[in-house]
Amino acid sequence: MSKLTSLARQTCIRKHPIGQCNIITASANAHRCVHNQEKNESRYVVKREVEEVKIPVPYGEIAGKWWGPKDVRPILSLHGWQDNAGTFDTLIPLLPHHISFLAIDFPGHGLSSRIPNGMTYHTFDSVYLVKNIMNHYNWKKISLLGHSMGSIISMIFSSIFPEKVDLYVGIDALKPHINDPTKLAKRLSKRIPKILEADIRNQSKQEPPAYSYEELIDRLHLGTEKSVTKEAAPYLLERNIEKSSTNPEKYYFTRDSRLKYSGGIGWGQDINLELAKRMTMPYMFIKALRSPYYEDKKYFDEYVTLVQQINPTFELEFVDSTHHLHLTEPQKIAPMITKFLCKHWQKQSDSGRQ
């Protein structure tokens, strides 16, 4: 029996009332077994009210999943690089059901529109997107939950607009990583031609390579260095594949291939430390112990030490898991996030749905 299935069956029996700050929030009938014949899989998922939403942007629309009450400003939930809103499908149902969450697909990911041809993806562009979403819903403040790239974007936004962020939970990417500057030119010399090739393919509307569903699971599993388990892969694939028009028995990835060569932030540790001084809101960071730091660990420690000095609400948790722990082992972090939210979250009814 898988850990997720076991967890689902256990919480079904516990009969916690929905709508309270419980460590695991569920009810006797809060789970249902979903069997997808086409994908030939069965899994237990937590049953929560969720609605697909579309947010207009100048180049199309941002797709998302709104979990929970519609009269409550949601916690904006931001996924990692080349993932999508499905990354939170196993975690959010384990968090308090009276709190709303809006998990979005970043541009070029999931069901969201791609940026125009001839352009490239940059992580910092998504900081503008977060402010755009705030403006769309007329939110005075924002609450943030981010994984990996989404955590970095949340950290940057929180440091730029600390007065507008009432809480922030980051998962397994603390801040912009510090790369070896001597390798920058060589990396870009390889990446820029590949971006141009991907852009040409997009303009030709040529269908990407297609695979069987089982092959897609294997590719996602191995492509994330097994961080996404085969059992968890369908949560991401659901918003990331389409049937091939030439071979209906196979599927292809729909995410924009330009994402593979997108640019990171690129600034130095001095800027990260200046931004850290502004991280004064309730702040939790969760680090997976079996996931790399993606930089020299001294930069991580230096940032943490500074935030601990200036922010008494800062909480740092280390969890024995891999990079996608929120998706594959949500039961390990749901209790700590729930406890944090119960201390700091306050209902705001200015959801401003338009």
Structure tokens at 207: 């269908």
Strand 241-243 to strand 165-171: parallel, antiparallel, or no bridges (unpaired)? unpaired
pLDDT (tens digit per residue) in 292-340: 999 999 999 999 999 999 999 999 999 999 999 999 999 999 999 999 9
Of 29-43, 104-118, 171-185, 253-267, the one with minimum mean pLDDT is: 29-43
- Does residue 285 carry a pLDDT above 70? yes
Residue type, 87: T
Contacts of 7 (CB under 8 A, 6+ apart): 330, 331
- Active site (catalytic) residues: 148
Q: What is the value of pTM for the model shown?
A: 0.85
The pLDDT value given to residue 202: 83
Superfamily of domain 3-180+264-344: Alpha/Beta hydrolase fold, catalytic domain (3.40.50.1820)
Q: What is the mean pLDDT of residues 57-76?
A: 96
Contact 290, 259 (CB under 8 A): no
Contact 323, 149 (CB under 8 A): no
Band the pLDDT of 290: cuts 50, 70, 90.
very high
Band the pLDDT of 219: cuts 50, 70, 90.
very high
Coil, strand or helix at 85: helix
Instruction: Return the number of other C-beta atoms located less than 10 Å from residue 42's C-beta.
Output: 11
Domain residue ranges of the chain, discontinuous segments joined by +:
3-180+264-344, 184-261
Q: What is the mean pLDDT of residues 49-64?
A: 95
